Structure 1
Amino acid sequence: MRSFRTLLALSGAVTLAACGGDTRPQTVGSTAAVPSGTPTPTHSFVAPTDPKTYESIGAVQHYEYFTDSNAIGQGGQLYAGDANTARDSGISLTYNPRDAIFEMTINRPNGMVNVTAFRFQDPQHRTAFGGPLGPQAGVPNFAAGRQIQYLEAGSQTGSRLSPASPYYAASVGSAYPVMDDASSSSTQTLFYQKPGTTTKYVTYAGFVRNNVSGALQTPAVGAAYLRETYSLDRAAFVFGERSANSAVPASGSATFSGEMIASMVVNVDPTTTADATGSTYMQWMQGAQTSTINFTNRTVSSTFTGTLFAPTIDAYTSAIYPLSAGTAFSATGSATIDMINRGGFAGSFSQACFAAACTSANSLNIAGSSLDGTFFGPNAEEIGGGFRIVGGTPDQRIDILGSFVGKKP
């Protein structure tokens, strides 16, 4: 008898860093290289001229499972999520303006995500939606006004299913690649909002890695079938030029508004749907946040609103998912500023729901949450951070992990 569900939730932390690059086509802020003979401009986050590493705040998640061509549902499910604080590290993103290379490292063992110095070359690895080679499945297609830059690289051994395969027809609805026997595919995507689009000293980014492999199963009794094994990683984080502790005001108040993104896992309740395996789906979200900060009392009050994207569908899963594209999301959280001990602010969420406004009737049962961030810019004029909301009902799980930025009006 197959054991279909083993969901493991691990709390932890994530950190990211970025460094500069040459482009000639593009820098972190997608600005052109400085022509010969032109005086070197002052370095900035929007138009970097020197290599630099930025500490980040955000979250990672990992989900692995398999599907079989002779059954419906997901087997061997294993999930882990991990959200960091302003002082916790574990992700570095290096960009150097001389060579236009991003080098990314993620070491978050609690989130089961490990990336060792993976390089993205711009423009060699640049991609975009609507082009001849768009981003892979599971990469969010954000609103055009967000000016998201996409870099992608990967490899493949063997071949994908073709119409000649007896398993092809049943898998044609899969968004992920469907690999043939003894074949595998691994693709990594880094995306980030072009610095300067909405904020000058911090920006948000994300990471998607899809590893898919196929293996023919030949049982002693019954017909052979194809097994697809999936190992999926997601990350959402912010990076930028942090404010000195002395730059953070000690009195007064201010409101910081900006954008947010999040990656979510949700599994269906096997007792209420035709999918008895409780299959799990990964979905992205885009939205906004507003944080009111009382510097005198050292408190932060934040509201989040968002809209879900459609989940990414794999081969041989029922595609019965509880939250469709366009579903609204809202949440309320609070935090306390502690620059000395925490390097920023830290707190939790009091309410979250999949609706435009939360009520006692539609709110999630929050099992755990975190809201972490800090200040960016020479005068603490911007904020950035990460968040996590874990909720659901018995035998069903929702885990939302995201990042956000904001600036004063």
Structure 2
Amino acid sequence: MTTPPTHADAALVAERVGAVATAPLHTVAARLREVIEEALPHRALAVFTQDCTGRPQKKAGDPSITERITIAELDAIRRRTAGGERPASALIAGEEHLVLVFGAQTGAILVLCEPGRPAYPGAEAYVRAVWETAATRIRQQVAEARPDYLRESRAASSERLRVTAELTARHETDLETLLATLRSRELDDTRARVLATDTAAGALVRVRAGSDLVASLAEEAVSQAFQRLKDDLRPLSRYGTVQVQFIEPPPDGRALPGEVAHAARAIVRSAVLLMRDQEELTRIRIQWNCDGANLLISVRDDGPGLLDSGRPAVGLLTARATALGGHLGIEAVETWGSEIDVRIPLDPPDTSDTVMRMWDLAPRETEVLRLLVAGRRNRQIASELGISENTVKFHTSQVYRKLGVTSRAAAAALAADAGLGFTDSRPTHITPRP
């Protein structure tokens, strides 16, 4: 067994923990694996956090596992641990695997798949401490809502929702058709009909539950998002001299994409702190509203009216709004106060043209990739584009080569994560070449 770290290793341990704490969100799983693998060997790891709506799961290790792990599997493990269980095995990547699960105060979990023996006494305690640091830092980075995070999160979450909704609708139709057939009185085998009906009904419940899970991770009710903001700012009103007033958004307003909710709270928190630095300030009023397409934010004070857009802090507020295609404006009237108005679109722009230029895809390859993302099989793609299956296979191989992947799942995931946009539920049809 490896000798446990000594005081001489303190600098190295601190360096490793620091590497995890400073890792960007998209690299935190890989960095975490590098730091803990020597102490606690494992085949793969997965991080599942409801804080990070764009990519709630972060993975590193054996691709045969990490490329097949699903959100539903990780959420099932999270629910088991939340109930007080510490599972020794779980369904991961479609198969039962030995696991070691670490929770965190933020509610996130770290799952080590096929863990080996700890390298020294106290190795698990070391991993737990490093993981707690990583989980806390993930929440902090999400709360900071940096512009680059907001752009990346919007591209990932919006496309995942669209693809999931489309796949769910198709599965629902198939299963409802199956149920209607099995309920037909023309079938003689009563037992087979009952058994098949129960199976199909269970599948229908599961696919709808899966869709609801993805939606809950990627969206937040506007009233819930506003309540979280009130909870964040309540200490300012309770213990400070400035009164903070909240004007509630319509309770039936459209749900907010996760990145919009995070950005809105970060913008308002920063705006309130900026306004509180002014003299002769007694009241700040915060209002959210929705017009169906945008989240509308107003933060108004009764201060001296000297707030201007040239301050560096205002520049960060503006960057957060523009990262999501929004707009931020400031109006200040001397002796009357200042107002910051923000408009953030709830739907992302279509970025497919940019993505296609990045990969240098031909028009036909673009259409094939769109249909891959939509979950179509080769025969369906051939039918929709009016080409043969062999031609589809040729275009698919070209897409794989240009994207640097080896499977349709990896190609679809990469395209979706890069923000491939869809203006309709079906791609534009290209007339077949003669």
- TM-score (norm. length: structure 2): 0.20
Higher-strand-fraction structure: 1
Higher-helix-fraction structure: 2
- TM-score (norm. length: structure 1): 0.21
